[in-house]
Structure 1
Amino acid sequence: MTSTEPALQRALDRERAHHDHCRSVLAEMVEGAQEHVVTGEDVSASGADAEALGYRLRSRAEEMRELPPGPLFFGRLDFTEAEAETEGEGDGEGEEDGEGEGGRALHIGRLRITEHPAAPPLVVDWRAPVSRAFYQATAGDPRGVAVRRRFGWAPGSRGESADLTGMEDEHLGRGESRASAIVAREIERPRVGPMRDIAATIQPEQDDLVRAGLGDTVCVQGAPGTGKTAVGLHRAAYLLYTHPQRIKRGGLLILGPNPAFLSYIAEVLPALGESGVRQSTLAQELARHPVTRTDDAPAAALKHDARTAEVLRRALYARVAPDAACDLTVPDGSYRWRVPAETLARVVADVRDERPPYTVGRDRVRARIVGYVQERAERRAGPRPHAWLRRVERSRPVAAALDAVWPRVRPEEVLAPLLGDPSVLARA
């Protein structure tokens, strides 16, 4: 959208200048990420700690270097003054030109851009909680937003500020709302080349699916071309952003029907700031585990019987052992926190009765152990920082206690005894 109106032209010039500034700051962020790798190599630590630190820093630097070219933001939220006070300072860059109606403004993009980790962001990641208002706010429920602005970029833009050709404002704080021509044009743009991300055009019902909880299983159904694959990929990016450690610890796999499809969608996650996610087809996954023999008819019938799933579940959860709980002592500097054996056994039994997935149950036991220690530590010395919580949950005594009562188990460790020993199968 273009216009010769002086007010609009001045606003576009300000936004282009902001984009230029964001571009220079992003370049500094990329350079800084590489410098952190060099600095991290000189950090004195154990071999394992140094290796883990180096891996994280190198991964971050590589992700930033591989960001595909494109506009750095696609939207902006101007909040009401009351909402700005509620949210607190430091979440946005603010407005010095008096253009915004509210107390602060946030530009929304595919990646957080900031001059310093502690500085207000120049661009907020679309997955951040505060960004949800960009997708969900309406005139009837503005969510503290005075104005929602959408930016129009030239098709195929590689992120040059001159490609910012227009913008639309919705004054939600005044109860005004309208259909976006920018969104409509983007959705209707012909599909040419690899699949594009839809971060700028996510609809409210799609946003609900993308931001569903980690424990929710989401099945997206719809006619061809309705955005099923795009929603799935954006949900993957959202979960990687919101639960990075849990997702990376368990792994994330994008499974497609064929290599051509995977090639078509390959650029979506990198465009959203996520790289290194493994993509594969069902045939490729099966090829990783070659068939060495064929079951006879009775064995095949047994393995495919729905009752076998319950047998496997009982065999798996038989490894959970509340009775193996012992007194747990957690070091905290010169102090020691004690978790009595009966308390630990009760936690394990309670989680087992909740019947969560096995790995989720193990994480749940760990969290409740840490919560028990945290409650007592805060009674003594006040709120504990996040680093303290991480240190406790990673401590060797907690890990050893967890392995005793809710051990890690590989699938073959459960399956092999069941199929190889009739007495084990009978007990299950």
Structure 2
Amino acid sequence: MPTDVLGAERAHLAASRAALRAMREHARSLSADAAGDWVSQQVLQGLLDQRVAALADHPDTPLFFGRLDRAADDDLPPTVYVGRRHVHDDSSRPLVIDWRAPVSRAFYQASPADPMGVALRRRFGYQGGDLTAYEDEPLDGRSLGQSRLLTEEIERPRTGPMRDIVATIQPDQDEIVRSGLGVTVCVQGAPGTGKTAVGLHRAAYLLFTHREKLSRSGVMIVGPNRAFLSYISSVLPALGEVRVDQTTVAGILGDHGHPEDPAVAAVKGDARMAAVLERALWLHVTKPEEGVLVTKGVNRYRVPDHEVREIVAGLRGTTRYGAGRAALAQRLAHAVLVQMERRGESPDDRVQDSVARSKPVKTVVDAVWPKLTPEQVLFRLLSDAGFLARAARADLSAEEQESLLWRKPYKSHRSAKWSAADAALLDELADLIERTPSHGHIVVDEAQDLSAMQLRALGRRCRTGSATVLGDLAQGTTPWSARSWKTVLDHLGQPAGEVTELTLGFRVPREVLDYAARLLPSVAPDLAAPRSLRPGAGSLTVRRVTGADPAATGAADTGPAVAEAVRAVLGREGSIGVIAADASVPAVSAALEGVAHGVLGPDSTGEERVLVVPASLAKGLEYDHVIVVEPADIVAAEERGRARLYVVLTRAVTSLTVVHALDLPEELA
């Protein structure tokens, strides 16, 4: 390798890092004191702090990873370095171009068939933050085969949180990432295709391209659990995006975790509940039985009962419940003002507001259109069989209505213990009462596992924006898992969303992926089998433990073999995940006594190199080496156990070891 070329590139890297430090110091030197008042100063200071954070240099992360030597004769620089963020020197000369800029697109899309004005593409190899290698790809029609540096970067062992993939984005992924803000994109992605990374990078791209708009309306990332959020937490900050909300459905709707029969939760999660809830709310609006009598000094003004009924009928169902209640008070007050004007008075808006707040008007409004909370409405619906029947009509069968009623009614809505399915119903009611604010864009991962009512809740939060929907129908593990992305988009309120499919994997070895794909005919027969670019010969080991005690649990039988499998990969580079059925996790952890390890929980960060992972938390995570304990127990633990096992088997990016004493599912035998 010519050292002068490598030396020149290292010099450019050093100059770029120095320029980035200067940009950050300049941002630090700016003061918010120039703002006129204290509130403006606080807002400006917050923006400056975010700018400083976005300009942080990560010494272990390459500042640029590619270079384009342009052949086109235009106003663009002849040489462009592509990196994670824009860097310029003190003369405003660009040293690194942000990967999201239009000129950078050629780094991902240019090919010999369409060079896009590029003569040569150069990739860089790094060890930590030090530039160690480069690789040139002429775009003149000569084929150089698969990039060695690209392959090494894709296969590089991963420890700790998820990394960004800006250096390895593939053309089909780049098309999704650069989709416009007005387009909702749904990505059906097989394991290892990078769908989660694509969704995060699309968020970063939209923030770059529509900075001003999205800084007002916001971007939100919705993941399946907090462990997953911890895993992806470093991606957007590494790309310079620090103002993005990352949360879960429970974080949005309320962390209501009271246990509930899955069959009941499935009924509550059904889209039919939307109509039931709407009726339940509006059933609280009753027919007025008397008019309104308002006294002002010696004058008395009466709005007769028939006129009150007309006003209520005109408002009912045409607005949100809360707005309708407020409008009723104003309409009644206006009717009084009309009578005042007929008597020669000249009332103004202050008089109308005073009448609207008067006791006679408030008494009628409270009787006819009572003030309600979502908890009050849902409490009545789940505790009053007659009221539920009136609200359900023909939407729910008698058996379904019976299943929804609480077996042991609570005394009031304040003492009720709500489930996760109830949380979505409460959110639906809250939106019927007062409009839910909308974000400019949301990214929803593992969307196939969300109920129709949960999807409606998320859809309300991108009602005036767009969404990136990520998932895999084959990995649906809830009783209400989606069977069609069209249905998901309909419930999300984005029926015009575009569905695209990623089937070519880069992370999971082919031998592992083919083994897991044996389950596909059982869990998602309509999906095409995924393919992997990595052969992964020798990456799969299936070990049966013999001589086990049939009376013992599978985890207890396999304990020594699991410990042996973990020790066998401890000498290799990368993270290790030991995945077992949730109920078996304590026994598996005990079997690893003497091996430093952690146990992944819903709220834990999982920073240990060796982690025991409950099967229910494995979705979305990846480990270099995975040991799966007793697949039969994972399948038996839940209704869609085979889908859960498919998820578990596809978490490995270097090696998979299956340890079992019980018979494997027939597809894997």
- Indicate the TM-score class for this superposition, using the shorter chain for normalisation: 0.5 to 0.7
TM-score between both structures, scaled by the size of structure 1: 0.60
1:169 to 132, 136, 146: 136
**For the structure 1 residues 73 and 305, does the alpha-carbon distance in structure 2 shift closer, same or farther, using more than 3 Å as the test?**
same
2:93 to 94, 97, 120: 120
The 8 Å contact of residues 124 and 135 in structure 2, kept in 1 or not, is answered as: yes
Q: Confirm or deny that 1:107 pairs with 2:69.
A: no
User: Which residue is equivalent to 1:391?
Assistant: none
CA distance in 1, matches of 2:207, 2:318: 32
Q: Confirm or deny that 1:305 pairs with 2:271.
A: no
- What secondary structure does 2:95 align onto? coil
Q: Confirm or deny that 1:64 pairs with 2:55.
A: yes
Sequence identity percentage: 49
Q: Confirm or deny that 1:79 pairs with 2:45.
A: no
User: Which residue is equivalent to 2:432?
Assistant: 415
**For the structure 1 residues 306 and 121, does the alpha-carbon distance in structure 2 shift closer, same or farther, using more than 3 Å as the test?**
farther
The Cα of 1:259 is off from its aligned counterpart by 1.4
Partner deviation per Cα, 1:70-98 (whole Å, 9 max, x = no partner): 11110000111xx2x42x1xx54xxxxxx
Q: Confirm or deny that 1:28 pairs with 2:22.
A: yes
Structure 2: unaligned runs, 5 residues or longer: 259-266, 283-315, 324-427, 436-669
| Structure 2 counterparts to residues 124-143 of structure 1, below 5 A | 124-143=97-116
Partner deviation per Cα, 1:364-421 (whole Å, 9 max, x = no partner): xxxxxxxxxxxxxxxxxxxxxxxxxxxxxxxxxxxxxxxxxxxxxxx98972289xxx
The 8 Å contact of residues 253 and 277 in structure 1, kept in 2 or not, is answered as: yes
1:194 to 161, 165, 176: 161
CA distance in 2, matches of 1:21, 1:194: 29
Q: Tell me: higher relative CO, structure 1 or 2? Use CA pairs within 8 A at least 6 residues apart.
A: 2
Partner deviation per Cα, 1:173-202 (whole Å, 9 max, x = no partner): x22343211111111223332111100000
| Structure 2 counterparts to residues 249-264 of structure 1, below 5 A | 249-264=216-231
The 8 Å contact of residues 107 and 124 in structure 1, kept in 2 or not, is answered as: yes
The Cα of 1:27 is off from its aligned counterpart by 1.1
2:236 to 256, 269, 273: 269
CA distance in 2, matches of 1:50, 1:284: 31
**For the structure 1 residues 190 and 46, does the alpha-carbon distance in structure 2 shift closer, same or farther, using more than 3 Å as the test?**
same
Partner deviation per Cα, 1:255-281 (whole Å, 9 max, x = no partner): 111111111111111111111322112
CA distance in 2, matches of 1:417, 1:75: 50
Partner deviation per Cα, 1:131-172 (whole Å, 9 max, x = no partner): 001000011111110111000112xx1x2xxx3221111111
- What secondary structure does 1:123 align onto? strand
Q: 1:9 is matched by which residue type in structure 2?
A: T
CA distance in 2, matches of 1:131, 1:207: 11
CA distance in 2, matches of 1:313, 1:126: 49
- Greater fraction helix: 1
**For the structure 1 residues 164 and 140, does the alpha-carbon distance in structure 2 shift closer, same or farther, using more than 3 Å as the test?**
same
The 8 Å contact of residues 108 and 125 in structure 1, kept in 2 or not, is answered as: yes
The 8 Å contact of residues 64 and 82 in structure 2, kept in 1 or not, is answered as: yes
| Structure 2 counterparts to residues 389-400 of structure 1, below 5 A | none
**For the structure 1 residues 50 and 417, does the alpha-carbon distance in structure 2 shift closer, same or farther, using more than 3 Å as the test?**
closer
Q: 1:25 is matched by which residue type in structure 2?
A: A
The Cα of 1:283 is off from its aligned counterpart by 2.1
User: Which residue is equivalent to 1:222?
Assistant: 189
The Cα of 1:288 is off from its aligned counterpart by 6.2
The 8 Å contact of residues 17 and 57 in structure 2, kept in 1 or not, is answered as: no
User: Which residue is equivalent to 1:351?
Assistant: none
Q: Confirm or deny that 1:184 pairs with 2:175.
A: no
- Greater fraction strand: 2
| Structure 2 counterparts to residues 333-352 of structure 1, below 5 A | none
The 8 Å contact of residues 277 and 429 in structure 2, kept in 1 or not, is answered as: no
The 8 Å contact of residues 66 and 270 in structure 1, kept in 2 or not, is answered as: no
CA distance in 2, matches of 1:55, 1:109: 26
User: Which residue is equivalent to 1:14?
Assistant: 8
**For the structure 1 residues 302 and 267, does the alpha-carbon distance in structure 2 shift closer, same or farther, using more than 3 Å as the test?**
closer
More displaced 10-residue stretch of structure 1: 58-67 or 133-142: 58-67
**For the structure 1 residues 9 and 50, does the alpha-carbon distance in structure 2 shift closer, same or farther, using more than 3 Å as the test?**
same
- What secondary structure does 2:67 align onto? strand
User: Which residue is equivalent to 1:147?
Assistant: 120
CA distance in 2, matches of 1:306, 1:238: 40
- What secondary structure does 1:305 align onto? helix
CA distance in 2, matches of 1:114, 1:315: 53
**For the structure 1 residues 26 and 301, does the alpha-carbon distance in structure 2 shift closer, same or farther, using more than 3 Å as the test?**
closer
CA distance in 2, matches of 1:267, 1:68: 14
Partner deviation per Cα, 1:204-226 (whole Å, 9 max, x = no partner): 00000000010111111122111
Structure 1: unaligned runs, 5 residues or longer: 93-103, 292-296, 320-410, 419-428
How much is the aligned-residue C-alpha RMSD, in angstroms? 3.4
**For the structure 1 residues 239 and 168, does the alpha-carbon distance in structure 2 shift closer, same or farther, using more than 3 Å as the test?**
same
More displaced 10-residue stretch of structure 1: 219-228 or 231-240: 219-228
CA distance in 1, matches of 2:272, 2:187: 32
- What secondary structure does 2:185 align onto? coil
CA distance in 2, matches of 1:315, 1:47: 39
CA distance in 2, matches of 1:182, 1:315: 59
Partner deviation per Cα, 1:292-327 (whole Å, 9 max, x = no partner): xxxxx99x9975239979x999747xx9xxxxxxxx
User: Which residue is equivalent to 1:233?
Assistant: 200
The Cα of 1:10 is off from its aligned counterpart by 1.0
TM-score between both structures, scaled by the size of structure 2: 0.39
Q: 1:129 is matched by which residue type in structure 2?
A: P
CA distance in 1, matches of 2:220, 2:10: 38
- What secondary structure does 1:261 align onto? helix
CA distance in 2, matches of 1:301, 1:138: 46
The 8 Å contact of residues 250 and 256 in structure 2, kept in 1 or not, is answered as: no
**For the structure 1 residues 286 and 114, does the alpha-carbon distance in structure 2 shift closer, same or farther, using more than 3 Å as the test?**
same
- What secondary structure does 2:181 align onto? coil
Partner deviation per Cα, 1:323-350 (whole Å, 9 max, x = no partner): xxxxxxxxxxxxxxxxxxxxxxxxxxxx
The Cα of 1:45 is off from its aligned counterpart by 3.0
**For the structure 1 residues 200 and 306, does the alpha-carbon distance in structure 2 shift closer, same or farther, using more than 3 Å as the test?**
farther
CA distance in 1, matches of 2:434, 2:234: 43
User: Which residue is equivalent to 1:247?
Assistant: 214
Q: Confirm or deny that 1:208 pairs with 2:175.
A: yes
The Cα of 1:69 is off from its aligned counterpart by 3.9
Q: Greater Rg, structure 1 or structure 2?
A: 2
The Cα of 1:289 is off from its aligned counterpart by 8.5
Partner deviation per Cα, 1:220-239 (whole Å, 9 max, x = no partner): 11221110111011111111
**For the structure 1 residues 136 and 314, does the alpha-carbon distance in structure 2 shift closer, same or farther, using more than 3 Å as the test?**
farther
